[in-house]
Amino acid sequence: MGSRSDQKAATRESILLAAAQQFAEHGYSATSISGIAARMGKPKSALSYSQFRSKLDIANAIVERQLEVWKLLIERVEHAEPGLPRLLTLLISAAADARTSPFGPAAIRLVLESHEHHLFELPYTGQSWFEYAYAQVGEAVALGQLPPATDPSEVGYLILSASFGVYEASKNGFRLVDPDRALRMLWIGLLREAGVADPAAIVDELHAVALDVEY
């Protein structure tokens, strides 16, 4: 029989896995502690206050878990050319990871909802998708990948939010095309509108980086 600390850790993991499914499917506002408990097949009273004090604490724990994966992804994409290639390599790699990660889909939705709709506040972790996107688009302008008059915040926001939109559509049953192909088609259109002369030359060279992570 496992020790009490082992049992506590196992319970915590079960809560996080159940909550991740709820957050990914329903979002932050529509997820409840009772819904998480029901997903676990337990009454609400079974979720110990000593594990998590609130729904926000659970959301934070899920995002923090996935942040470790995203930090590793950022390290792995450093080999890519700065600017648009590096940003899009990160996005296509994160999308590939989310298709197998138990926490990725929930973390993506939570981060997007926190930033876009201000439904709740995630603590600043030093890791912002939007700041990263703005910085890489700024690099793209400096390197001549985008026109000099490009607003990095505007283009970075469009790329990131539209990419999240494709991911959400795919996750919610809109599977008319392969998600990877849908992202590439989206980026070609966005980059063309942003003034890139040959966006396919950038997008066609993208490859998702592999992570040695077991889920």
The secondary structure of 87-103 as a DSSP string is HHHHHHHHHHHHTT-SS
Structure tokens at 1: 């029989």
Q: What is the CATH number of the domain that holds 108?
A: 1.10.357.10
Residue 17 lies in a domain: no
Q: What is the pLDDT of residue 125?
A: 55
Total count of domains within the chain: 1
Q: Does residue 43 fall inside a structural domain?
A: no
Q: Which domain holds residue 78?
A: 64-203
Ranges of H-type helices in 27-151: 33-40, 55-76, 84-98, 104-116, 129-142
Residue 124 covered by a domain: yes
**Residue 45 domain-assigned (yes or no):** no
Does some domain include residue 122? yes
Does residue 150 form part of some domain? yes
Asked whether residue 128 is domain-assigned, the answer is yes
pTM over 0.85: no
Residue 14 lies in a domain: no
* Cβ-defined contacts of 145-152 (< 8 Å, 24+): 145/83, 145/84, 145/196, 145/202, 146/83, 146/84, 146/194, 146/195, 146/196, 147/194, 147/195, 150/194, 150/195
Q: What is the residue-level pLDDT of the chain in tens, covering all 215 positions?
A: 457 777 888 889 999 999 999 999 999 999 999 999 999 998 887 776 668 888 999 999 999 899 888 888 999 999 999 999 999 999 999 988 888 889 998 998 898 888 766 655 665 555 578 889 999 999 999 999 999 999 999 999 999 988 887 766 666 655 556 788 889 999 999 999 999 999 999 999 999 998 776 66
- Which pLDDT score, from 0 to 100, does residue 1 have? 47
- Phi then psi for residue 136, to 5 deg, are -70, -35
